[in-house]
Amino acid sequence: MIGGILLVALATRLFLLQAYRVPSASMEDSVLVGDYLITNKLTYGPLIPLTSVHLPGLGSPEAGDPIVVRFPHDTGREILKRCMAGPGQTVEIRNKILYVDGKRTVDPQRSKYVDPRVLPKESPDGVRDNYGPVTIPPGHYFVIGDNRDNSDDSRFWGFIPAHDIVAKPTFIYFSWAPDPESPVYEGPSSFPAIVGYNVLHFFERVRWDRIGKLIE
């Protein structure tokens, strides 16, 4: 009985649904640091474990889709970005504005720019604000963070291959606000203080209004 339950749970984790915690601010304000998401692997097809092969999915990423992908510099990590263009399309950024096939794109509703500077293309990190034009090769996608001035994405490390697309996020099932006053883990002796602090501030740190929100 227990073995069957564990098998079903493992199969669900590998092929259907997966929990994901947002660790960085690169997708603010669409999702926030400390949001916990449920992602759907069936949308783009689940990866067969220990391979780069996808089982058939319901479709391919479309412009505007938030997607979880494997980080190119460390494929053991998974990151959340937004797909903005796909195979065969030409992407260009001019003075922070993204163009796809020569047409200006519409920024996601909760995206933002936090740096008023516009970096010239020839400057260090100038691709943040001025990039391309570059045509996306077959089987690849251009992904970018909604926090446009504070995101490590395709502008810096290139296009994402289809086999590195993991899942599509669906909704927030829990949200835990960062707290700079929370004790820092410094070994087993600090664990009681951390637990006590979080229990005491539990209702303040949970962002109740975000629970159940759909990811758009």
Q: What are phi and psi of 191, to 5 degrees?
A: -60, -45
Active site residue 154: no
CA 21, CA 37: separation in Å to the nearest integer? 6
The beta strands (E) that lie in the chain are given as: 17-21, 35-40, 66-71, 74-85, 90-94, 97-100, 103-104, 131-135, 140-144, 160-161, 165-175
DSSP letter assigned to residue 76: E
Q: Which amino acid is at 79?
A: I
| Annotated catalytic residue within 26, 30, 111, 175 | 26
Nearest to 20 by CA among 173, 214, 148: 173
| Annotated catalytic residue within 30, 41, 81, 175 | 81
Continuous H helices in the chain: 2-15, 154-157, 191-200, 202-205
Active site residue 103: no
- 20 and 78 Cβ atoms separated by less than 8 Å: yes
- 33 and 22 Cβ atoms separated by less than 8 Å: yes
Which residues are marked as active site?
26, 81
